Structure 1
Amino acid sequence: MSIRSGLFKLLGLCLLAGVLVAGILFPVTGAAGVVANQASDTVDSMSTDLAEEPPPLITTLTDRDGKPIATLYDQYRIPTAPDEISEAMKWAMISVEDRRFYDHHGVDWKGTLRAAITNTSGGDTQGASTLTQQYVKNYLINVTHRGDTLGQQKAQEVSIARKLKEAQIAIQLETKMTKEEILTGYLNVVEFSRQIYGVGAAARAYFNTEASKLTVPQAALLAGMVNNPAVLDPWNNPEGAKKRRNFVLDKMVENRKLDPEDAERIKEEPLGVLPGGPNKPASTCISAKPAYGFFCQYVEDYLIDLGMDKDDLYTGGYTIRTTMDSKATEVAKDAVEKEVSKTEPNVANTLSLVKPGKDRHEVVALVANKDYGTDKEAGQASQGLPYDVFNVTGAGSSYKIFTAAATLEQRKYGIFDTVPVPNFHVSPVFNWGGEHCPTRPSGIRTYCVKNASDGGDTSMSLQDALAKSPNTTFVILEEEVGMKAVVEMASKLGLRKTMASRPADGNVPDPDHERPEYSMNQIEFYGPNELAPQGRGMFTLGASPVSGLEMANVAATIMSGGVWCPPTPILEVINRGGKEFPVKDKPCEQVVPEGLANTLAVGLSKDTAPGGTAYNAASSAGWDRPMLGKTGTTQFQGSATFVGATPQLAGAAMIFRPDLPHGGLVDGGPGNVHATSYGNSNMFGGKTPARTWFRAMKPIMEGLPKKPLPEPDPHYAKVR
């Protein structure tokens, strides 16, 4: 740089000083006055920000008992008060960044002129920014313009205009805050790399200690890092970090805050940071404890669906007490993994548990054999397997619950009335059946369905039909009540997102019996060993995408006397000020008469009795509690479900192929389940799903009273 250009820069700095003094001490007019007044407006705005827009904090999720289960944050920060920061930390920072901090009033004119002269003479470049100015700049970068790349660039641009604005704010800030407040504010807002901000978080992350206990060598390392946090990261660049730490020690000696002998001794010491990287909590649900990851993500999704801004969730410093039962979740996680290995490719085994109630349906556990994460090879999945609409092949005959409910609602049959059970049925209503179905004169193929096995009863009670699950019976019932009534019943009882996520052309069929696009594209069985790849099953056979959590909530609705409530994961949300943040759940609804729900619960009570599809699983588990239950299996056994509930807890266990849905599943017993090709599968809802459900529910329910099911309502018991 030439002497001439250096003189021009020095002249500019002198003019800067004059403008700043004029803008503070005297009324001014003209261009300089406009700049000063604009800067004054900015400092007033920033002062307001300091009071009303505190730095981002971490949000903590806890279980229902207040035990932390996950953290969400953009910046890891632990706020610290002035008396919670060691003197060593304060003097290390002052010594290296602003040794005349206690002498100036926001701008160090002596340092500014020295820097200008040094820069013009070819020496080391020096910024000459005071800690107050750095506080302003870091606050603008890390708080005001966080996430705003253009704003952050403007807060760091090399220009007289930016320096003028920064200096003006710094000078006025010193009239509003004490030196201790400014120093503490700076130490709370400054970055230390790896999403670590503020000395409180840095002390914990780097040394597993508190800011008040930081020693001289620890403080020197942290103070040196703020110059360039990414480059001076002690794990990535230990030599550079050590060199910078030792430079800080020398500055502390120059500032008479450290004896030379102590400095030389400390220089020989290792950095002392924790081995392997920083000690800090996970910043997203992906890194939460394996059993808790899916529940954490459901909380996030749920709050955002209710209108909370995601950025606010990650920066607001909330404490969110969830409905999660840690013990139940651990037991459920163990159950799903014992049945299906987490590393088994393309097999998801999930369990969703919901607490029934007439004023709330609290989600108790959401688990899968997979851990929540992005590493498939390690047995992780990032989709919301236990709660999202992700089982694309469906819940199978579990959907017969909705057909039975619609039948009771219209009083076509009572739960104890006799219903037809033909072995083979050609539908006079629905079209597009299997390859053995006759063709109508119009050329449209009929819909036909056959039960899983030949022979057997030709009639039985509706209650027994729910337990034994003959396909023909429920297709006939769906014809009588109409598919629209069955679909609407599914939505009322709990499949809200499931119904909303159906394809655009997935409409309920019109009365003219056109092809039912939203009827399912598969049936459970066409015959004992004969599958119908071209068969088009009805809604009642349940081969559409479905949410396991919503199926669990269906059972909770029935067990709550027909009261639907949203499956909520939230007990309370407390903001950083200790006040409750309102969470407005959707209101509960009485979706079917209580008598109907109670009668349906009784109708579903024989699935675990001899002859029921879940009997073997229940018997093997030693289950002896009253409950409702329903199994379901889709065509080719590509997915299967067991839905069940006691008066205290409802749940849905579901197994499916999350990646390549086409194909089947083989159940070779607990721990020996895998995906397979068409025609080689043997999965049923009474196998892996039912075993998972009882394996978890038996210990979870241990110690709770054996409550009976409600009494059936005569209005829905027998109508014929």
Structure 2
Amino acid sequence: MGNTRSSGGLSTAQQAAKFLGVSALAGAVMAGLALPAVGALGLAAKGTVEEFDGIPANLKTPPLSQRTTILDAKGGEIAKVYSRDRTIVKLKDVSPYMRQAIVAIEDARFYQHGAVDLKGVLRAVNTNAQEGGVSQGASTLTQQYVKNVFVEEAGNDKEKVAQATRQSIGRKIKELKYAIKVEKELGKKRILENYLNITFFGQQAYGIEAASQRYFSKSAKDLNLEQSAMLAGLVQSPSRYDPINAPETAKERRNTVLRRMAEVKDITPAQAAAAQKKPLGLKVSMPRSGCITAVQGAGFFCDYVREILLNDPTFGKTAEARAKRWNQGGLTIRTTLDPQAQESVQKSIKSHVYQSDSVATAVTLVEPGTGKVLGMGQSRPYGFGENETQINLSADKAMGGSNYGFQVGSTFKPITAAAAIEQGKKPYQRYSSPYKMKYPSPVTTCKGTWRNDEGATVENENESEVGPYAMKEATAKSVNTYFVQLISDIGVCPVTQMADRMGVERADGEEHNQVPSLTLGSEGFSPLTMANAYATFANRGVYCSPVFIESITGPNGKALKVPQSKCSRAMSEKTADTINTLLRGVVEDGTGKQAGLKNRPSAGKTGTTDERRAAWFVGYTPNLAGAVWVGGPGAKGVTMENISIGGVFHDKVYGADTPGPIWKDAMSGALEGKPAPNFESVSIKDPNQHKSDDDKKRNDRKPSNDGGDKGDNGDKGGQENPWPDISLPSDLIGGGNGNGGNGNGNGGRHWPR
């Protein structure tokens, strides 16, 4: 607006003065409102008028921050979160008593004057001039509303809030100009509505609806006379007149409002007297904000949703823009959380791991094909007390999880197997798989060659685990030396590339280490990552990124854009079906037998790390995948030997005996009443082995020149000794070294088994 003048030649300040029926000088004085007289300040009217005219005319009113409601997939409320607890309501939805009370005590002439109350201003100017300071104000509801807009715009920035409330000439002049503009554009009813919605009433309650719920547990439209008077009295000083902490002072203030309402003839003296005798009648609903209040144990799921809104570019190009949107709130967020699955997760956790245990567990369930996270829970609740935490044990570091995640042990082996099969290896690929061996060297990686210069060794869990093994048995028994030989054979790079395609990223955000021990689960990942990776197997090789949000409705009722799951093929269907067949063997007759589900096909893998600091079971059905981790939640972890977990003593914790049953119970409840589809099975037997079996029947104990299987990389030629504990003459045993995978052994004899 600047210093523009109307056709009548009046500046904006002069128009304001004329609007109020006073001179330009008086208008400038009124701009000062609760300030010392102009003479006392030594200000010229001209300077004040120029300052007034230099203020932009349009008041920028930021959206009022409101509470955000987070819902589960069925529409049930998980939690309410807010920077400022506020629910905006229309003026018609506010009790008439409340409307009368706030006007009577704060601005009795609200409907008679313009943006500024001239009589009040002159009274304040006179008083302040006599006292030589600022002792009395004369702000109208309109001016108070404008000041509250400044405060709202400042948000949680203490310096900006101080500027917005500082008693200064500049702020008062600015406030006056905007008040005049607001008065002309909005009108009295809209100003009163806005004022009631923006004003702070104490106890974290912003706006009349939140205040009514806080102190009386009722809607603003249902407030009676004495309740309205009490709330109206809070505005002047919410802390001083706080009815919870200073009930007597609050009652005195309420009675002052009632007397004022009688004086301005909103109520009769008899009504005022009767209301003054009544108690405050509080029915307090203390503020419950944030994910700490989430139901169904979904505090960490709720927190993950918050992290998405603060980090995903979908909700703003900059971190500042995303934080502003979150703090403004007013959102209704429907999530993917399935109440049945979440209840099952929490029930399983509670029955197997105690909050007071030295170790913790975390469980995440994901739907294959959609990436929807259906359940997420842990034994250490969201909170600040003993054995509570704010760390989401199911998430990566960037999304509120632990700094490094947790080593996943043998649950990484199926990723190596998938990479190997994609590279052309067969599921009947055999390796010598001794109990203990040095890491093969050299091994190719994405960055060159890895060499075992230090002579590092690897061994199996039990001394009885001695090969040779094919992939099925090695997977079922979780044979370390087999998978070290496998990754060394194909190289590390195909494995890390497969991991990347399956969304298996380290919890700390760093790149994968290009070392063969990767196949043994030496790196740290989150339960969410592992559950979603195994969902790729269940989805026949198609990876879908995890999603937590179904939809968001903004404060205006319009739908907002939300992140969508991105799906891409990580491996062929045949490879995925092969892995599914291998991992079905784990739960049918392998290390994960304790986790097998009743009456529905399932697959999975156990995992235990060095010193038993972490134990895992990650498994799935065709329509649900889940990961369970058990371990010490701290940086040092806990050695899980001779330990009690959930009231059960363990001399040694295995992936099968603790995470396995947790997974089984969580999955069983989540899938109750749901379809039980089958996997697509494939044959993982060596086709040449069938031929060999036929030959055995026809040529029992007859010599053979069988030189081994083609494509078996020539590890063995001829027939191995069927009784390895019995020493047989070498001419009766198949003749050793094959030739470059052509299986050209030196001959030998088939022996019946």
After TM superposition, the score normalised by the length of structure 2 is: 0.80
What is residue 300 of structure 1 aligned with on the other side? 306
Structure 2 residue 660 is matched with structure 1 residue 690 = yes
CA displacement at 1:33 relative to structure 2:
4.9
Query: Residues 366 and 375 of structure 2 are in contact (CA less than 8 Å); yes or no, is this contact kept in structure 1?
Result: yes
Residues 154-210 of structure 1: per-residue CA shift (max 9 Å, x gap): 222222332222122212211111211111110000011232110011111111111
Partner in structure 2 of residue 408 of structure 1 = 421
- Residue matched to 2:331: 318
- Aligned counterparts of 1:290 and 1:647: Cα–Cα separation in 2: 26
Number of the residue aligned with 2:674: 704
AA aligned to 2:303 is: Q
CA distance in 2, matches of 1:662, 1:136: 55
Q: 1:613 aligns with which of 565, 581, 591?
A: 591
The DSSP-based 3-state class of the residue aligned with 1:54 is coil
* Pairwise CA distance, 1:457: 5.0
Deviations 1:263-313 (A, max 9, x none): 2333332222225xx34442x212222511011111122233312302312
Task: Measure how far apart 1:110 and its partner are.
Answer: 0.3
**Structure 1 residue 662: deviation in Å?**
4.2
Match of 1:385 among 393, 401, 418: 393
Q: Quick one: which amino acid aligns to residue 614 of structure 1? A: G
> Where does residue 566 of structure 1 map in the other structure?
545
Partner AA of 1:658 in structure 2: P
CA RMSD of aligned residues (A): 2.8
Q: Which residue of 2 aligns with 1:116?
A: 125
- The 5-angstrom pairing of residues 451-462 of structure 1 reads 451-456=460-465, 458-462=467-471
Mapped to 1, the partners of 2:65 and 2:77 lie a distance apart of 19
Offset at 1:596?
A: 1.2
Q: Which position in structure 1 is the counterpart of 2:147? A: 137
The aligned residue for residue 379 of structure 2 is 369
Q: CA deviation at 1:393?
A: 4.3
Query: For the structure 1 residues 695 and 130, does the alpha-carbon distance in structure 2 shift closer, same or farther, using more than 3 Å as the test?
Result: same
Q: Deviations over 1:103-162 (max 9, x none)?
A: 0011001011122334455699431111111011111112x2223333322222222332
Counterpart in the other structure of 2:42: none
Q: Secondary structure at the match of 1:608?
A: helix
1:207 and 2:216 correspond: yes
TM-aligned CA deviation for residue 454 of structure 1:
1.7
Say whether residues 1:582 and 2:594 are aligned partners.
no
Aligned partners of 2:687, 2:503: CA distance in 1, in Å?
A: 23
CA apart distance, 1:385: 0.8
Matched, 1:35 2:51: yes
Provide closer, same or farther for how the CA distance between residues 687 and 443 of structure 1 changes in structure 2, counting only shifts above 3 A.
closer
Q: Secondary structure at the match of 1:605?
A: helix
Query: Letter of the aligned partner of 2:433 in structure 1?
Result: V
Corresponding residue for residue 539 of structure 1: 518
Q: How does 1:153-172 map to 2 (within 5 A)?
A: 153-172=162-181
Residue 737 of structure 2 corresponds to none
State the Cα distance separating 1:464 from its structure 2 match: 2.1
Q: Structure 2 CA distance, aligned partners of 1:443 and 1:202?
A: 69
Map 1:658-677; keep pairs closer than 5 Å.
658-666=633-641, 671-672=646-647
Structure 1 pair 717/482, CA: closer, same or farther in 2 (3 Å)?
A: farther
Give me the whole-angstrom Cα distance separating, in 2, the residues matched to 1:560 and 1:573: 27
CA contact (8 A) 1:16 1:164 kept: no
1-structure distance, mates of 2:174, 2:146? 10
- Distance change >3 Å, CA 430–CA 231, structure 1 → 2: farther
Residue type at the aligned position of 2:655: G
Pair 1:668–1:165, CA change in 2 (3 A): closer
Matched position secondary structure for 1:321 = strand
Shift of 1:616: 2.7
2:626 corresponds to 1:651? yes
* 1:63 maps to 2:76: no
Residue 541 (structure 1) shift: 1.3
Q: Distance in 2 between matches of 1:180 and 1:409?
A: 71
* Preserved CA contact (<8 Å) 1:58 1:318: yes
Please list the CA deviations of residues 307-362 of structure 1 after superposition, one character each: whole Å capped at 9, or x if unmatched: 230231231311111100012101101101211101223x12111000000xx311
SS of 2:560's partner is coil
Structure 2 spans left out of the alignment, 5+ residues: 1-21, 32-44, 316-321, 444-450, 689-710, 713-753
SS in structure 2 of the partner of residue 428 of structure 1: coil
Distance apart, 1:32 and its partner CA: 4.8
Residues 393, 661 of structure 1: 8 Å contact kept: no
**Other-structure match for 2:353:** 340
- In the alignment, is the contact (CA less than 8 A) between 1:639 and 1:655 conserved in 2? yes
Counterpart residue type for residue 547 of structure 2: T
Structure 1: unaligned runs, 5 residues or longer: 1-12, 23-28, 432-441, 509-515, 520-537, 675-679
In structure 2, give the amino acid aligned to 1:36.
F
The offset of 1:456, in angstroms, is 4.6
Amino acid at match of 1:546: F
The answer to whether the 8 A contact 1:598-1:713 is kept is no
Q: Secondary structure at the match of 1:367?
A: strand
Larger radius of gyration between Structure 1 and Structure 2:
2
Q: How does 1:40-119 map to 2 (within 5 A)?
A: 41=56, 43-44=57-58, 46=59, 49-50=60-61, 53-119=62-128
- How many Å apart are 1:444 and its aligned residue? 4.2
- 2:271 and 2:479 map into 1 onto residues whose CA distance is 85
Q: How does 1:448-487 map to 2 (within 5 A)?
A: 448-456=457-465, 458-487=467-496
8 Å CA contact 1:417–1:717 kept in 2: the answer is no
1:456 and 1:542, CA in 2 relative to 1: closer, same or farther beyond 3 A?
A: closer
| Alignment-derived partner of residue 522 in structure 1 | none
Equivalent position to 2:244, from 235, 255, 258: 235
Amino acid corresponding to residue 597 of structure 1 in structure 2: A
Instruction: Give the aligned residue type for 1:582.
Output: K
- TM-aligned CA deviation for residue 240 of structure 1: 2.2
Corresponding residue number in structure 2 for 1:446: 455
Give the whole-Å Cα distance in 2 for the aligned partners of 1:408 and 1:551: 20
Q: Supply the AA of the counterpart residue of 2:619.
A: G
- 1:75 is displaced (CA, Å) by 1.0
Q: Which residue of 1 aligns with 2:343?
A: 330
3-state DSSP of counterpart to 1:212: helix
Higher RCO structure, 1 or 2 (CA under 8 Å, sep 6+):
1
User: Hey, what's the Cα distance between the residues in 2 that align with 1:497 and 1:150?
Assistant: 40
**Retained in 1: the 8 A contact 2:78–2:295?**
yes
Query: CA, structure 1 residues 393+497, in 2 after alignment: closer, same or farther (shift >3 Å)?
Result: closer
